[in-house]
Structure 1
Protein backbone atom coordinates (compact mmCIF):
# COMPACT_ATOMS: atom_id res chain seq x y z
CA UNK A 1 0.00 0.00 0.00
CA UNK A 2 1.25 3.49 -0.85
CA UNK A 3 2.70 5.54 1.99
CA UNK A 4 2.36 8.82 0.09
CA UNK A 5 -0.44 10.95 1.49
CA UNK A 6 -2.69 12.93 -0.84
CA UNK A 7 -2.45 16.66 -0.17
CA UNK A 8 -4.18 19.79 -1.45
CA UNK A 9 -1.28 20.72 -3.73
CA UNK A 10 -1.80 17.49 -5.67
CA UNK A 11 -5.53 18.10 -6.04
CA UNK A 12 -5.06 21.73 -7.07
CA UNK A 13 -2.42 20.73 -9.63
CA UNK A 14 -4.71 18.12 -11.18
CA UNK A 15 -7.67 20.47 -11.48
CA UNK A 16 -5.47 23.30 -12.79
CA UNK A 17 -3.97 21.30 -15.66
CA UNK A 18 -7.36 19.80 -16.55
CA UNK A 19 -9.13 23.17 -16.67
CA UNK A 20 -6.22 25.01 -18.32
CA UNK A 21 -5.51 22.24 -20.81
CA UNK A 22 -1.84 21.68 -20.06
CA UNK A 23 0.94 21.47 -17.50
CA UNK A 24 2.48 24.85 -18.31
CA UNK A 25 -0.76 26.84 -18.10
CA UNK A 26 -1.84 24.84 -15.06
CA UNK A 27 1.41 25.75 -13.31
CA UNK A 28 0.89 29.44 -14.13
CA UNK A 29 -2.62 29.29 -12.69
CA UNK A 30 -1.54 28.05 -9.27
CA UNK A 31 1.72 30.01 -9.23
CA UNK A 32 4.29 27.20 -9.22
CA UNK A 33 6.82 25.80 -11.68
CA UNK A 34 5.89 23.23 -14.31
CA UNK A 35 8.25 20.72 -12.70
CA UNK A 36 6.43 21.18 -9.38
CA UNK A 37 3.12 20.40 -11.08
CA UNK A 38 4.59 17.31 -12.74
CA UNK A 39 5.97 16.17 -9.38
CA UNK A 40 2.57 16.68 -7.73
CA UNK A 41 0.79 14.63 -10.41
CA UNK A 42 3.32 11.80 -10.14
CA UNK A 43 2.82 11.77 -6.38
CA UNK A 44 -0.96 11.69 -6.78
CA UNK A 45 -0.75 8.85 -9.30
CA UNK A 46 1.50 6.90 -6.91
CA UNK A 47 -0.89 7.52 -4.01
CA UNK A 48 -3.91 6.42 -6.08
CA UNK A 49 -2.03 3.49 -7.57
CA UNK A 50 -3.02 4.17 -11.17
CA UNK A 51 -2.12 6.55 -14.02
CA UNK A 52 -4.38 9.61 -14.20
CA UNK A 53 -3.14 11.36 -17.34
CA UNK A 54 -2.17 10.04 -20.75
CA UNK A 55 0.29 12.10 -22.78
CA UNK A 56 0.30 11.60 -26.55
CA UNK A 57 2.07 13.83 -29.09
CA UNK A 58 1.93 16.91 -26.94
CA UNK A 59 -1.70 16.36 -25.95
CA UNK A 60 -3.00 15.15 -22.62
CA UNK A 61 -6.16 13.32 -21.66
CA UNK A 62 -7.49 12.01 -18.39
CA UNK A 63 -7.69 8.28 -18.01
CA UNK A 64 -10.93 6.75 -16.76
CA UNK A 65 -9.46 6.77 -13.26
CA UNK A 66 -8.22 10.33 -13.80
CA UNK A 67 -11.76 11.49 -14.57
CA UNK A 68 -13.06 9.95 -11.35
CA UNK A 69 -10.24 11.44 -9.28
CA UNK A 70 -10.71 14.89 -10.86
CA UNK A 71 -14.42 14.83 -10.00
CA UNK A 72 -13.67 13.92 -6.39
CA UNK A 73 -10.87 16.51 -6.22
CA UNK A 74 -13.26 19.27 -7.29
CA UNK A 75 -15.66 18.26 -4.55
CA UNK A 76 -12.91 18.32 -1.92
CA UNK A 77 -11.62 21.74 -2.99
CA UNK A 78 -15.14 23.18 -3.08
CA UNK A 79 -15.84 21.84 0.41
CA UNK A 80 -12.63 23.42 1.71
CA UNK A 81 -13.58 26.74 0.11
CA UNK A 82 -16.96 26.59 1.86
CA UNK A 83 -15.22 25.95 5.18
CA UNK A 84 -12.88 28.88 4.56
CA UNK A 85 -15.83 31.17 3.88
CA UNK A 86 -17.51 30.09 7.12
CA UNK A 87 -14.57 31.53 9.01
CA UNK A 88 -14.43 34.68 6.91
CA UNK A 89 -18.16 35.31 7.12
CA UNK A 90 -18.64 34.90 10.85
CA UNK A 91 -18.60 38.69 11.38
CA UNK A 92 -20.24 39.58 8.07
CA UNK A 93 -23.83 40.27 9.02
CA UNK A 94 -26.31 43.01 9.80
CA UNK A 95 -27.93 45.67 7.64
CA UNK A 96 -26.03 47.68 5.03
CA UNK A 97 -27.65 50.84 3.64
CA UNK A 98 -27.06 51.22 -0.10
CA UNK A 99 -28.05 54.29 -2.09
CA UNK A 100 -28.44 53.75 -5.84
CA UNK A 101 -29.78 55.56 -8.85
CA UNK A 102 -32.99 54.04 -10.20
CA UNK A 103 -31.34 52.22 -13.09
CA UNK A 104 -28.93 50.41 -10.75
CA UNK A 105 -31.81 49.60 -8.40
CA UNK A 106 -33.77 47.83 -11.13
CA UNK A 107 -31.01 46.06 -13.09
CA UNK A 108 -27.87 45.51 -10.98
CA UNK A 109 -29.30 45.27 -7.46
CA UNK A 110 -31.28 42.02 -8.01
CA UNK A 111 -28.11 40.24 -9.17
CA UNK A 112 -26.17 41.63 -6.20
CA UNK A 113 -28.89 40.40 -3.84
CA UNK A 114 -28.69 36.88 -5.29
CA UNK A 115 -24.92 36.96 -4.84
CA UNK A 116 -25.24 38.05 -1.20
CA UNK A 117 -27.93 35.50 -0.43
CA UNK A 118 -25.61 32.79 -1.73
CA UNK A 119 -22.37 33.97 -0.10
CA UNK A 120 -23.42 36.13 2.87
CA UNK A 121 -26.93 35.08 3.92
CA UNK A 122 -26.77 37.05 7.19
CA UNK A 123 -26.46 40.42 5.43
CA UNK A 124 -29.60 42.48 4.85
CA UNK A 125 -29.80 45.44 2.48
CA UNK A 126 -31.68 48.67 2.99
CA UNK A 127 -31.96 50.11 -0.53
CA UNK A 128 -32.37 53.87 -0.96
CA UNK A 129 -33.09 54.68 -4.61
CA UNK A 130 -32.94 58.25 -5.83
CA UNK A 131 -31.33 60.63 -8.28
CA UNK A 132 -27.58 61.11 -8.67
CA UNK A 133 -27.83 64.25 -6.59
CA UNK A 134 -29.80 62.56 -3.81
CA UNK A 135 -27.49 59.54 -3.57
CA UNK A 136 -24.45 61.83 -3.41
CA UNK A 137 -26.05 63.89 -0.65
CA UNK A 138 -26.99 60.79 1.36
CA UNK A 139 -23.41 59.49 1.15
CA UNK A 140 -21.94 62.89 2.04
CA UNK A 141 -24.11 63.04 5.18
CA UNK A 142 -23.40 59.38 6.12
CA UNK A 143 -27.06 58.44 5.79
CA UNK A 144 -26.01 55.43 3.69
CA UNK A 145 -23.00 53.12 3.88
CA UNK A 146 -22.43 52.85 0.12
CA UNK A 147 -23.69 54.89 -2.82
CA UNK A 148 -23.67 54.23 -6.57
CA UNK A 149 -24.34 57.27 -8.74
CA UNK A 150 -22.89 59.59 -11.36
CA UNK A 151 -21.67 62.21 -8.84
CA UNK A 152 -18.94 61.52 -6.28
CA UNK A 153 -17.39 64.92 -5.47
CA UNK A 154 -15.65 65.07 -2.09
CA UNK A 155 -16.15 61.38 -1.24
CA UNK A 156 -14.09 58.20 -1.24
CA UNK A 157 -14.98 56.83 -4.65
CA UNK A 158 -13.97 54.42 -7.38
CA UNK A 159 -15.11 53.95 -10.95
CA UNK A 160 -17.97 51.44 -10.87
CA UNK A 161 -19.12 51.07 -14.46
CA UNK A 162 -19.92 52.99 -17.60
CA UNK A 163 -23.32 52.90 -19.27
CA UNK A 164 -24.33 54.11 -22.69
CA UNK A 165 -27.03 56.66 -23.27
CA UNK A 166 -29.46 55.52 -25.95
CA UNK A 167 -31.98 57.48 -27.99
CA UNK A 168 -35.67 56.86 -27.30
CA UNK A 169 -38.05 57.95 -30.08
CA UNK A 170 -41.71 57.32 -30.99
CA UNK A 171 -42.06 54.21 -33.15
CA UNK A 172 -43.22 56.27 -36.17
CA UNK A 173 -40.52 58.95 -35.79
CA UNK A 174 -38.23 59.59 -38.78
CA UNK A 175 -35.22 58.43 -36.73
CA UNK A 176 -36.94 55.15 -35.79
CA UNK A 177 -36.15 53.74 -39.23
CA UNK A 178 -32.41 54.08 -38.76
CA UNK A 179 -30.25 51.34 -37.32
CA UNK A 180 -27.94 53.92 -35.75
CA UNK A 181 -28.53 57.64 -35.22
CA UNK A 182 -25.65 60.07 -35.78
CA UNK A 183 -25.04 62.70 -33.14
CA UNK A 184 -25.39 65.34 -35.85
CA UNK A 185 -28.95 64.13 -36.52
CA UNK A 186 -29.94 65.41 -33.07
CA UNK A 187 -29.25 69.03 -34.03
CA UNK A 188 -32.30 71.20 -33.23
CA UNK A 189 -34.38 68.13 -32.29
CA UNK A 190 -37.16 68.55 -29.74
CA UNK A 191 -36.06 66.86 -26.50
CA UNK A 192 -37.56 65.66 -23.24
CA UNK A 193 -34.76 65.84 -20.64
CA UNK A 194 -34.63 64.57 -17.04
CA UNK A 195 -34.78 67.48 -14.60
CA UNK A 196 -32.50 65.65 -12.16
CA UNK A 197 -30.39 62.50 -12.34
CA UNK A 198 -28.48 62.31 -15.61
CA UNK A 199 -30.14 65.46 -17.02
CA UNK A 200 -27.18 67.77 -16.27
CA UNK A 201 -24.80 65.18 -17.75
CA UNK A 202 -26.87 65.03 -20.95
CA UNK A 203 -26.78 68.83 -21.22
CA UNK A 204 -23.00 68.79 -20.81
CA UNK A 205 -22.41 65.93 -23.27
CA UNK A 206 -24.49 67.52 -26.01
CA UNK A 207 -22.83 70.88 -25.39
CA UNK A 208 -19.34 69.35 -25.60
CA UNK A 209 -20.34 67.64 -28.87
CA UNK A 210 -21.56 70.94 -30.30
CA UNK A 211 -25.13 69.65 -30.67
CA UNK A 212 -27.84 72.23 -29.94
CA UNK A 213 -31.25 70.79 -29.03
CA UNK A 214 -34.66 72.27 -28.30
CA UNK A 215 -35.52 71.28 -24.71
CA UNK A 216 -39.31 71.23 -24.73
CA UNK A 217 -39.78 70.01 -21.17
CA UNK A 218 -37.81 68.66 -18.21
CA UNK A 219 -39.38 65.89 -16.13
CA UNK A 220 -38.44 64.14 -12.91
CA UNK A 221 -40.07 60.71 -13.25
CA UNK A 222 -38.93 58.08 -15.75
CA UNK A 223 -42.47 57.00 -16.61
CA UNK A 224 -43.40 60.62 -17.36
CA UNK A 225 -40.46 60.84 -19.76
CA UNK A 226 -41.57 57.65 -21.55
CA UNK A 227 -45.11 59.00 -21.83
CA UNK A 228 -43.89 62.31 -23.26
CA UNK A 229 -41.82 60.55 -25.92
CA UNK A 230 -44.69 58.19 -26.76
CA UNK A 231 -46.95 61.24 -27.20
CA UNK A 232 -44.50 62.89 -29.65
CA UNK A 233 -43.59 65.73 -27.29
CA UNK A 234 -39.95 65.04 -28.09
CA UNK A 235 -37.21 62.43 -28.15
CA UNK A 236 -35.01 61.56 -25.17
CA UNK A 237 -31.61 60.17 -24.24
CA UNK A 238 -31.93 57.43 -21.64
CA UNK A 239 -29.28 55.42 -19.73
CA UNK A 240 -29.32 51.85 -20.97
CA UNK A 241 -29.86 50.46 -17.46
CA UNK A 242 -33.00 52.57 -17.05
CA UNK A 243 -34.78 50.99 -20.01
CA UNK A 244 -37.40 48.30 -19.37
CA UNK A 245 -37.59 45.28 -21.66
CA UNK A 246 -40.30 46.96 -23.75
CA UNK A 247 -41.23 50.64 -24.01
CA UNK A 248 -44.70 50.67 -25.55
CA UNK A 249 -45.02 52.96 -28.56
CA UNK A 250 -41.28 53.72 -28.65
CA UNK A 251 -38.08 52.31 -30.11
CA UNK A 252 -34.51 52.57 -28.90
CA UNK A 253 -31.58 53.43 -31.14
CA UNK A 254 -27.83 53.60 -30.41
CA UNK A 255 -25.96 56.81 -31.13
CA UNK A 256 -22.82 57.21 -33.23
CA UNK A 257 -20.44 58.20 -31.77
CA UNK A 258 -21.95 56.89 -28.54
CA UNK A 259 -22.63 58.98 -25.47
CA UNK A 260 -21.92 57.32 -22.13
CA UNK A 261 -21.82 58.29 -18.49
CA UNK A 262 -19.67 57.05 -15.63
CA UNK A 263 -21.10 55.67 -12.42
CA UNK A 264 -19.10 55.64 -9.19
CA UNK A 265 -19.19 53.52 -6.04
CA UNK A 266 -18.73 55.92 -3.13
CA UNK A 267 -18.80 56.11 0.64
CA UNK A 268 -18.17 58.72 3.28
CA UNK A 269 -15.89 56.82 5.68
CA UNK A 270 -12.22 56.28 4.89
CA UNK A 271 -12.72 52.51 5.20
CA UNK A 272 -15.71 50.18 5.00
CA UNK A 273 -16.54 47.53 7.56
CA UNK A 274 -16.49 43.86 6.52
CA UNK A 275 -20.22 43.74 5.75
CA UNK A 276 -20.13 46.87 3.60
CA UNK A 277 -17.07 45.53 1.76
CA UNK A 278 -18.91 42.29 1.03
CA UNK A 279 -21.87 44.26 -0.35
CA UNK A 280 -19.59 46.45 -2.50
CA UNK A 281 -17.94 43.32 -3.92
CA UNK A 282 -21.34 41.80 -4.72
CA UNK A 283 -22.35 44.92 -6.66
CA UNK A 284 -19.02 44.89 -8.54
CA UNK A 285 -19.55 41.27 -9.57
CA UNK A 286 -23.13 42.02 -10.61
CA UNK A 287 -22.00 44.92 -12.80
CA UNK A 288 -19.44 42.69 -14.56
CA UNK A 289 -22.13 40.19 -15.53
CA UNK A 290 -24.46 42.85 -16.91
CA UNK A 291 -25.17 42.53 -20.65
CA UNK A 292 -27.49 44.96 -22.39
CA UNK A 293 -29.78 44.15 -25.30
CA UNK A 294 -32.10 46.54 -27.07
CA UNK A 295 -35.71 46.11 -25.95
CA UNK A 296 -37.73 43.52 -27.85
CA UNK A 297 -39.91 46.29 -29.28
CA UNK A 298 -36.92 47.78 -31.10
CA UNK A 299 -35.98 44.39 -32.56
CA UNK A 300 -39.55 43.76 -33.67
CA UNK A 301 -39.68 47.21 -35.24
CA UNK A 302 -36.52 46.47 -37.24
CA UNK A 303 -38.21 43.33 -38.56
CA UNK A 304 -41.29 45.35 -39.62
CA UNK A 305 -39.08 47.85 -41.45
CA UNK A 306 -37.28 45.04 -43.31
CA UNK A 307 -40.63 43.53 -44.35
CA UNK A 308 -41.80 46.87 -45.75
CA UNK A 309 -38.61 47.41 -47.75
CA UNK A 310 -38.36 43.82 -49.02
Structure 2
Protein backbone atom coordinates (compact mmCIF):
# COMPACT_ATOMS: atom_id res chain seq x y z
CA UNK A 1 0.00 0.00 0.00
CA UNK A 2 1.44 3.39 -1.04
CA UNK A 3 2.05 5.90 1.75
CA UNK A 4 -1.02 8.13 2.11
CA UNK A 5 0.90 11.39 2.64
CA UNK A 6 -0.46 14.35 0.63
CA UNK A 7 1.31 15.06 -2.65
CA UNK A 8 2.89 18.27 -1.24
CA UNK A 9 4.42 16.32 1.67
CA UNK A 10 5.76 13.68 -0.70
CA UNK A 11 7.39 16.43 -2.75
CA UNK A 12 8.95 17.84 0.43
CA UNK A 13 10.43 14.42 1.22
CA UNK A 14 11.69 14.11 -2.36
CA UNK A 15 13.37 17.51 -2.03
CA UNK A 16 15.08 16.42 1.19
CA UNK A 17 16.24 13.26 -0.58
CA UNK A 18 17.71 15.31 -3.44
CA UNK A 19 19.53 17.59 -1.01
CA UNK A 20 20.85 15.00 1.45
CA UNK A 21 21.39 11.84 -0.61
CA UNK A 22 21.83 13.12 -4.14
CA UNK A 23 23.71 16.26 -3.04
CA UNK A 24 21.80 18.20 -5.72
CA UNK A 25 22.48 21.91 -6.18
CA UNK A 26 19.87 24.52 -5.19
CA UNK A 27 19.37 25.26 -8.91
CA UNK A 28 18.63 21.58 -9.67
CA UNK A 29 16.22 21.32 -6.74
CA UNK A 30 14.40 24.46 -7.92
CA UNK A 31 14.00 22.92 -11.38
CA UNK A 32 12.61 19.68 -9.91
CA UNK A 33 10.20 21.67 -7.77
CA UNK A 34 9.00 23.72 -10.73
CA UNK A 35 8.51 20.65 -12.92
CA UNK A 36 6.71 18.59 -10.27
CA UNK A 37 4.44 21.52 -9.39
CA UNK A 38 3.10 21.22 -12.95
CA UNK A 39 2.32 17.54 -12.30
CA UNK A 40 0.72 18.42 -8.98
CA UNK A 41 -1.49 21.09 -10.64
CA UNK A 42 -2.59 18.60 -13.29
CA UNK A 43 -3.52 16.01 -10.65
CA UNK A 44 -5.56 18.59 -8.76
CA UNK A 45 -7.41 19.51 -11.97
CA UNK A 46 -8.23 15.85 -12.58
CA UNK A 47 -9.13 15.09 -8.98
CA UNK A 48 -6.24 12.61 -8.61
CA UNK A 49 -5.24 12.38 -4.96
CA UNK A 50 -3.03 9.27 -4.77
CA UNK A 51 0.23 8.50 -6.57
CA UNK A 52 -0.92 4.99 -7.51
CA UNK A 53 -3.85 6.50 -9.41
CA UNK A 54 -1.54 8.36 -11.85
CA UNK A 55 -1.39 6.37 -15.09
CA UNK A 56 0.78 6.62 -18.22
CA UNK A 57 -2.29 8.12 -19.91
CA UNK A 58 -2.28 10.92 -17.33
CA UNK A 59 1.39 11.61 -18.01
CA UNK A 60 0.71 11.81 -21.77
CA UNK A 61 -2.30 14.10 -21.22
CA UNK A 62 -0.28 16.36 -18.91
CA UNK A 63 2.58 16.37 -21.41
CA UNK A 64 0.18 17.39 -24.19
CA UNK A 65 -1.26 20.14 -22.02
CA UNK A 66 2.21 21.55 -21.29
CA UNK A 67 3.09 21.33 -24.99
CA UNK A 68 0.00 23.37 -25.91
CA UNK A 69 1.00 25.92 -23.29
CA UNK A 70 4.17 26.52 -25.30
CA UNK A 71 6.85 24.55 -23.43
CA UNK A 72 9.77 23.67 -25.68
CA UNK A 73 10.86 20.13 -26.41
CA UNK A 74 13.85 20.46 -24.08
CA UNK A 75 11.63 21.76 -21.24
CA UNK A 76 9.17 18.91 -21.78
CA UNK A 77 12.03 16.41 -21.74
CA UNK A 78 13.27 17.86 -18.47
CA UNK A 79 9.73 17.66 -17.03
CA UNK A 80 9.55 13.99 -17.98
CA UNK A 81 12.97 13.34 -16.45
CA UNK A 82 11.92 15.07 -13.21
CA UNK A 83 8.71 13.02 -13.10
CA UNK A 84 10.56 9.75 -13.68
CA UNK A 85 13.01 10.56 -10.90
CA UNK A 86 10.18 11.38 -8.52
CA UNK A 87 8.29 8.17 -9.28
CA UNK A 88 11.50 6.13 -8.91
CA UNK A 89 11.95 7.71 -5.48
CA UNK A 90 8.29 6.98 -4.66
CA UNK A 91 8.70 3.31 -5.57
CA UNK A 92 11.50 2.97 -3.00
CA UNK A 93 10.01 5.22 -0.35
CA UNK A 94 6.31 4.45 -0.60
CA UNK A 95 6.16 1.13 -2.45
CA UNK A 96 4.76 2.52 -5.71
CA UNK A 97 4.48 -0.39 -8.16
CA UNK A 98 4.46 1.49 -11.50
CA UNK A 99 6.49 4.40 -12.87
CA UNK A 100 3.87 5.97 -15.16
CA UNK A 101 6.42 8.26 -16.85
CA UNK A 102 8.63 5.36 -17.93
CA UNK A 103 9.01 4.95 -21.70
CA UNK A 104 7.17 8.17 -22.62
CA UNK A 105 9.00 10.56 -24.92
CA UNK A 106 8.64 14.31 -25.31
CA UNK A 107 8.05 15.89 -28.73
CA UNK A 108 11.25 17.27 -30.21
CA UNK A 109 11.83 20.97 -30.70
CA UNK A 110 12.78 22.13 -34.18
CA UNK A 111 16.56 22.24 -34.40
CA UNK A 112 17.94 25.76 -34.09
CA UNK A 113 20.96 26.45 -36.25
CA UNK A 114 23.86 28.13 -34.45
CA UNK A 115 24.56 31.74 -35.39
CA UNK A 116 27.82 32.34 -37.20
CA UNK A 117 29.85 35.20 -38.61
CA UNK A 118 30.64 35.21 -42.30
CA UNK A 119 34.23 35.69 -43.47
CA UNK A 120 33.95 39.49 -43.77
CA UNK A 121 32.30 39.85 -40.34
CA UNK A 122 35.00 37.66 -38.81
CA UNK A 123 37.72 39.80 -40.37
CA UNK A 124 36.03 42.94 -39.04
CA UNK A 125 35.78 41.49 -35.55
CA UNK A 126 39.39 40.29 -35.44
CA UNK A 127 40.87 43.69 -36.33
CA UNK A 128 41.57 44.56 -32.70
CA UNK A 129 44.10 47.25 -31.81
CA UNK A 130 46.73 46.21 -29.27
CA UNK A 131 47.46 49.49 -27.53
CA UNK A 132 47.68 47.95 -24.05
CA UNK A 133 48.14 44.48 -22.55
CA UNK A 134 44.37 43.94 -22.09
CA UNK A 135 43.73 44.53 -25.80
CA UNK A 136 46.68 42.27 -26.59
CA UNK A 137 45.23 39.53 -24.38
CA UNK A 138 41.75 39.94 -25.86
CA UNK A 139 43.05 39.67 -29.40
CA UNK A 140 44.95 36.49 -28.54
CA UNK A 141 41.80 34.97 -26.97
CA UNK A 142 39.60 35.87 -29.93
CA UNK A 143 42.12 34.63 -32.49
CA UNK A 144 42.48 31.35 -30.58
CA UNK A 145 38.71 30.85 -30.34
CA UNK A 146 38.37 31.24 -34.10
CA UNK A 147 41.63 29.53 -35.07
CA UNK A 148 41.06 26.35 -33.07
CA UNK A 149 37.30 26.17 -32.42
CA UNK A 150 37.65 26.11 -28.64
CA UNK A 151 34.84 26.04 -26.12
CA UNK A 152 34.84 28.78 -23.48
CA UNK A 153 35.80 26.38 -20.68
CA UNK A 154 38.60 24.96 -22.82
CA UNK A 155 40.12 28.37 -23.45
CA UNK A 156 40.07 29.57 -19.85
CA UNK A 157 41.48 26.19 -18.74
CA UNK A 158 44.60 26.49 -20.90
CA UNK A 159 47.98 26.61 -19.19
CA UNK A 160 51.24 27.85 -20.70
CA UNK A 161 52.40 24.23 -20.79
CA UNK A 162 49.48 23.31 -23.06
CA UNK A 163 50.75 25.52 -25.90
CA UNK A 164 53.46 24.34 -28.29
CA UNK A 165 54.47 27.45 -30.21
CA UNK A 166 57.01 25.56 -32.34
CA UNK A 167 54.52 22.92 -33.46
CA UNK A 168 51.63 25.38 -33.58
CA UNK A 169 49.28 23.32 -31.42
CA UNK A 170 47.38 23.30 -28.13
CA UNK A 171 46.46 20.44 -25.80
CA UNK A 172 42.86 20.97 -24.82
CA UNK A 173 40.84 19.31 -22.06
CA UNK A 174 37.31 18.99 -23.44
CA UNK A 175 34.00 17.58 -22.24
CA UNK A 176 34.25 14.39 -20.23
CA UNK A 177 37.86 15.37 -19.48
CA UNK A 178 38.86 14.10 -22.90
CA UNK A 179 42.11 15.55 -24.17
CA UNK A 180 42.65 16.49 -27.79
CA UNK A 181 45.34 18.24 -29.80
CA UNK A 182 44.23 21.18 -31.95
CA UNK A 183 46.24 23.22 -34.46
CA UNK A 184 46.80 26.95 -33.98
CA UNK A 185 46.78 29.12 -37.11
CA UNK A 186 49.56 31.59 -37.89
CA UNK A 187 47.51 34.68 -37.02
CA UNK A 188 46.62 33.17 -33.65
CA UNK A 189 50.26 32.19 -33.07
CA UNK A 190 51.38 35.76 -33.74
CA UNK A 191 48.69 37.10 -31.38
CA UNK A 192 49.80 34.62 -28.71
CA UNK A 193 53.46 35.61 -29.12
CA UNK A 194 52.51 39.27 -28.64
CA UNK A 195 50.41 38.41 -25.60
CA UNK A 196 53.12 36.32 -23.95
CA UNK A 197 55.51 39.29 -24.18
CA UNK A 198 52.96 41.62 -22.58
CA UNK A 199 51.93 39.02 -19.98
CA UNK A 200 55.28 39.65 -18.24
CA UNK A 201 54.06 43.15 -17.32
CA UNK A 202 51.40 41.76 -14.96
CA UNK A 203 52.01 40.82 -11.30
CA UNK A 204 50.88 37.20 -11.48
CA UNK A 205 49.03 35.18 -8.85
CA UNK A 206 48.58 32.25 -11.23
CA UNK A 207 51.84 31.54 -13.07
CA UNK A 208 50.42 28.54 -14.97
CA UNK A 209 47.35 30.08 -16.61
CA UNK A 210 47.72 31.21 -20.23
CA UNK A 211 45.15 34.01 -19.90
CA UNK A 212 44.95 36.07 -16.72
CA UNK A 213 42.87 38.94 -15.37
CA UNK A 214 43.98 42.35 -14.07
CA UNK A 215 44.57 40.75 -10.67
CA UNK A 216 46.91 38.17 -12.15
CA UNK A 217 44.48 35.26 -11.61
CA UNK A 218 43.26 32.83 -14.26
CA UNK A 219 40.64 34.70 -16.29
CA UNK A 220 37.04 33.69 -15.56
CA UNK A 221 34.50 32.57 -18.19
CA UNK A 222 32.26 35.52 -17.32
CA UNK A 223 35.10 38.01 -17.89
CA UNK A 224 35.81 36.48 -21.31
CA UNK A 225 32.13 36.80 -22.27
CA UNK A 226 32.06 40.43 -21.14
CA UNK A 227 35.23 41.27 -23.04
CA UNK A 228 33.90 39.73 -26.25
CA UNK A 229 30.65 41.66 -25.91
CA UNK A 230 32.59 44.89 -25.38
CA UNK A 231 34.62 44.16 -28.49
CA UNK A 232 31.37 43.66 -30.42
CA UNK A 233 30.47 47.30 -29.77
CA UNK A 234 33.97 48.61 -30.41
CA UNK A 235 34.26 46.73 -33.70
CA UNK A 236 30.84 47.91 -34.91
CA UNK A 237 29.27 44.45 -35.11
CA UNK A 238 25.52 44.11 -35.73
CA UNK A 239 24.99 42.02 -32.59
CA UNK A 240 26.83 40.57 -29.64
CA UNK A 241 29.60 38.11 -30.44
CA UNK A 242 30.05 35.34 -27.88
CA UNK A 243 32.65 32.54 -27.61
CA UNK A 244 30.38 29.84 -29.03
CA UNK A 245 29.65 32.01 -32.08
CA UNK A 246 33.36 32.03 -32.88
CA UNK A 247 33.47 28.24 -32.42
CA UNK A 248 30.47 27.86 -34.74
CA UNK A 249 32.08 30.17 -37.28
CA UNK A 250 35.31 28.13 -37.15
CA UNK A 251 33.38 24.92 -37.82
CA UNK A 252 31.19 26.36 -40.55
CA UNK A 253 34.06 28.01 -42.46
CA UNK A 254 36.26 24.93 -42.18
CA UNK A 255 33.51 22.62 -43.38
CA UNK A 256 32.64 24.94 -46.24
CA UNK A 257 36.25 24.94 -47.44
CA UNK A 258 37.14 21.29 -46.85
CA UNK A 259 33.87 19.33 -46.84
CA UNK A 260 35.54 16.95 -44.38
CA UNK A 261 32.92 16.35 -41.69
CA UNK A 262 35.05 13.80 -39.81
CA UNK A 263 37.99 16.18 -39.53
CA UNK A 264 35.73 18.96 -38.22
CA UNK A 265 34.25 16.50 -35.69
CA UNK A 266 37.75 15.64 -34.49
CA UNK A 267 38.81 19.28 -34.18
CA UNK A 268 35.67 20.25 -32.28
CA UNK A 269 35.94 17.30 -29.91
CA UNK A 270 32.42 16.03 -30.67
CA UNK A 271 31.78 12.51 -29.41
CA UNK A 272 29.13 11.89 -32.09
CA UNK A 273 29.24 13.01 -35.70
CA UNK A 274 25.51 13.80 -35.50
CA UNK A 275 26.45 16.81 -33.34
CA UNK A 276 28.79 18.06 -36.07
CA UNK A 277 26.25 17.51 -38.85
CA UNK A 278 24.33 20.63 -37.80
CA UNK A 279 26.98 22.64 -39.64
CA UNK A 280 26.11 20.98 -42.93
CA UNK A 281 22.77 22.82 -42.84
CA UNK A 282 24.50 26.17 -42.46
CA UNK A 283 26.33 25.74 -45.75
CA UNK A 284 23.40 24.39 -47.78
CA UNK A 285 22.78 27.61 -49.70
CA UNK A 286 26.45 27.91 -50.52
CA UNK A 287 26.60 24.27 -51.62
CA UNK A 288 23.43 24.70 -53.67
CA UNK A 289 25.03 27.60 -55.55
CA UNK A 290 28.15 25.54 -56.22
CA UNK A 291 25.98 22.65 -57.41
CA UNK A 292 23.92 24.85 -59.73
CA UNK A 293 27.07 26.31 -61.20
CA UNK A 294 29.13 23.12 -61.53
CA UNK A 295 26.83 20.13 -62.08
CA UNK A 296 26.15 19.44 -65.79
CA UNK A 297 22.56 18.41 -65.09
CA UNK A 298 21.89 21.45 -62.90
CA UNK A 299 23.03 24.21 -65.23
CA UNK A 300 20.29 26.18 -66.86
CA UNK A 301 20.13 25.82 -70.61
CA UNK A 302 21.08 28.97 -72.46
CA UNK A 303 18.27 30.48 -74.50
CA UNK A 304 18.97 30.98 -78.18
* TM-score, normalised relative to structure 2: 0.28
Q: Which has the higher contact order (CA 8 A, sep 6+)?
A: 1
More strand by share: 1
More helix by share: 2
* TM-score, normalised relative to structure 1: 0.28
